[in-house]
Structure formats: structure tokens, C-alpha cells
Amino acid sequence: MDEKGWGDSDRITREYFDSLLLEMRHLDGRKPDTSFSLYGESFSTPVMTAPLSHLDQVHEKGMVELAKGAARAGAVNWAGMGEDDELWEITQTGAKTIKIIKPYADNRLIFDKIEHAAKCGVLAVGMDIDHAFDVYGGYDCVRGYEMKPKSREEIMEFVRASSVPFVIKGILSERDAYKSLEAGARGLVISHHHGIMDYAVPPLMILPDILKVTGEEIPVFVDCGITTAADVFKALALGATAVCVGRVLLKPLEEEGAEGVCREIGRITGKLKGFMAKTGCCDLSHMDKTVIRRKFG
């Protein structure tokens, strides 16, 4: 990161979220509904867990407890890097889970993990393509595993190898969105991996441009910096299918395990309904980007 922190992408993202204001629209209002469908399954809320990893230091079997909480809340669960037996335990909770695989240099490992994820019964599988390089331009290394950038052709091979929808995480440009669509991706996650690069464009700033690429062909999710119901509402109003929340779930997970995760997702969803009710957005298919205004000055 630059020495003064001016390029901190998390800070820039927070400032962009806070620059977006909301109109109120009360006439002809209706009680809101936050349910939606994804890959043939129904969910109560568009507030999903983020693809976190290695949560045993937060709570015993933290990833499994996170999944239990998501299942109880009627939310999509995401899982990041982890061992095969952990993913099996996660899916056995009943949580509808999307497994994200790192861009390992060894493609054989990727194919093995795609196959294992399908056997575990995941909702979808995918890759966080933004973890290929370190800050010095060399190949990244995560927990002893070397990473490597993937070509569109390699992504096509992963898509063909998967019996469930394949999702690309780490999209932050129209260019990568086009290439992902061409490769057969069935979902995109707009994310800068919580500041993996300084001066990264805020996900909500690039979201409208990416939606012009995808149209209504595939779901588009937003990750990074979403900590409040207002953040969730703004992402949905601008066209996101659903959002990932991560860090705000860690304290509830630490203190109460699955019950804390469920309660926090429910709390955010409840306040989301409040924003929807006060802006005339009756359900997720009737979100309206025209309620968003940029802060003056």
C-alpha cells in the first residue's frame, strides 16, 4: 500500500458507498419481500456470506458454524480456501454453498477440487482470479501453494469440467466481464478482494458498466466493504443480484457461533426491508436505481 494510505481501496470503497444518497418514496408503498432464486434454489435474503477461509481461530469449526448460520437464515453460503473434508462438513449442514477455488498454478489441483465440490453437492463452484499475483508482480503464494493467472481458454476448460455453474470472482472491469462471459461463466462477483490492489475502482462504481456487458444473462454479485443494510440496498438498487458480507459476521460468529451468524444476517435483512419500504421497492425484481443520488459538493 502507498505510504500515506491514500490508495487504500477499502477506504475508497467506503467513501464511495457513503457518497450515494437515497430518495424516499412512500405513496403506493407495499410491504417488501427479500426472497429470490439462484441456480434453481430459493432463498429468503440476498445477504450472503462471503467466501471466507480458515475461521478456526474465530470459532471452533468456524467455517462449518458459518454455514449453519447461513442455512438457518435462508441465505447462500460461500466457502473459500480449505481442505476437502471441511467442504464436506460444510455442505452436510444443509447450507447451499458456492465453493471458490484459488487459481493454483497446478491445474490438476483445480480440476480435482471442482470434482470434489460437485460430489459434496455444492450449489456452484468458481475461482477468485484476483489472487494470481503478489504486490511485486510475481506469482502469489498462498499457504504454500503457488498461484498463476488463468487464460480465457483455461477458464473454458474449468467450466466444461464442472457439472454445476462456474462463477468468476474478482471481476473489476468490463474487459474481464466480457472474457468471463465468453468462457461460459454462470455468475460474476465484482470484488477487489478487500484491497488486494491500491487505488482499485469501487465495486459499485463499476457495477453499472459490468451490467451493460452481462445484461440479464447471468447473476452479478457484489463483494467488498458491505457492512450495513444501507450498503446492501445501494448495491441491489444499482442492479446486483445479491451481495456478500464477511467481516461483520466475524464477531457474531466468535461470540455465538451459528446462532450469531443467523441473527446478524437476519438483522441486516430486516433493516434492508426498511430501506426497501421507504423507497418504493417492493421486492428484488423491482429495485430502482433512480432512487440513488450522488452526494452534493
Q: Are 227 and 247 in contact (CB under 8 A)?
A: yes
Cβ pair 81, 53 in contact under 8 A:
yes
Is residue 193 among the annotated active site residues?
A: yes
CB of 177 within 8 A of CB of 206? no
Contact 191, 127 (CB under 8 A): no
Instruction: Given the residues 116, 192, 193, 194, select the one marked as catalytic.
Output: 193
Q: Which residues of 22-48 are buried (b: 16+ CB within 10 A; e: fewer)?
A: eeeeeeeeeebebebebbeeebebbbb
What angle, 0 to 180 degrees and rounded to 10, lies between the N-to-C axes of helices 229-237 and 258-279? 50
Give the span between the Cα atoms of 119 and 173, in whole angstroms.
Answer: 32
Q: How far apart are CA 206 and CA 184, in angstroms?
A: 21
What is the CB neighbour count within 10 angstroms for residue 251?
Answer: 12
Q: Which residues are part of the catalytic machinery?
A: 193
